[in-house]
Amino acid sequence: MQELAPGDLERLLTASLAARSKAYAPYSHYAVGAAVLDDQGGVHAGCNVENAAYPQSWCAEATALGAMLMAGGKRAKAVLVSGPGPDIITPCGGCRQKLREFGDDDLLVIAADPSGVKHTWTLGQLLPASFGPDHLTNNPTKPS
């Protein structure tokens, strides 16, 4: 398990809920915020962005990971995803794989809603036996 520094949970919750308030979700009306903690202690937030051509929509986690990269962040230690409740939000399958690109099995995935934190998993629990960048690095048929 990753250890969060004192105050990090509060920073993540505040950033995720603020991002959620910016969600563009006119079709589902399901506003989502995500805040990623990088390995330098930076917090990067994003919201879901829907589209009239429904499959072109993207999730809050994708926006937050893009923000991390744009700020120079390289690796994710934790992500706090916030939804409307009452059901505990959990990252979709595609977002689990996107998180896997920038985090290890011990990346913390924290679920929240406007009333606070509801649940914590590790990415390894949500995406066991995952396919990741090492599969490509370790490919013996890769031209050198």
Q: Which residues are known catalytic residues?
A: 61
Interaction of residue 88 with ligand THU, rule CB under 6 A: no
- Distance between CA 35 and CA 82 in Å, rounded? 9
Site for ligand THU (CB under 6 A): which residue of 15, 20, 48, 112?
A: 48
Interaction of residue 103 with ligand THU, rule CB under 6 A: no
Interaction of residue 46 with ligand THU, rule CB under 6 A: no
Site for ligand THU (CB under 6 A): which residue of 14, 18, 22, 57?
A: 57
Interaction of residue 61 with ligand THU, rule CB under 6 A: yes
Task: Supply the DSSP string of the chain, one letter for each residue.
Answer: -PPPPTTHHHHHHHHHHHHHTT-B-TTT----EEEEEETTS-EEEEE-B--SSGGG-B-HHHHHHHHHHHTT---EEEEEEE-SSSSPP---HHHHHHHHHH--TT-EEEEEETTEEEEEEEHHHHSTT---HHHHHT-TTS--
Site for ligand THU (CB under 6 A): which residue of 28, 40, 51, 125?
A: 28
Query: How far apart are CB 11 and ligand THU at their closest, in Å?
Result: 20
* Stretch 104-133 residues interacting with ligand THU (CB under 6 A): none
In the complex, the residues that contact ligand THU under the rule CB under 6 A are 25, 28, 30, 32, 48, 50, 57, 59-61, 81, 91-92, 95
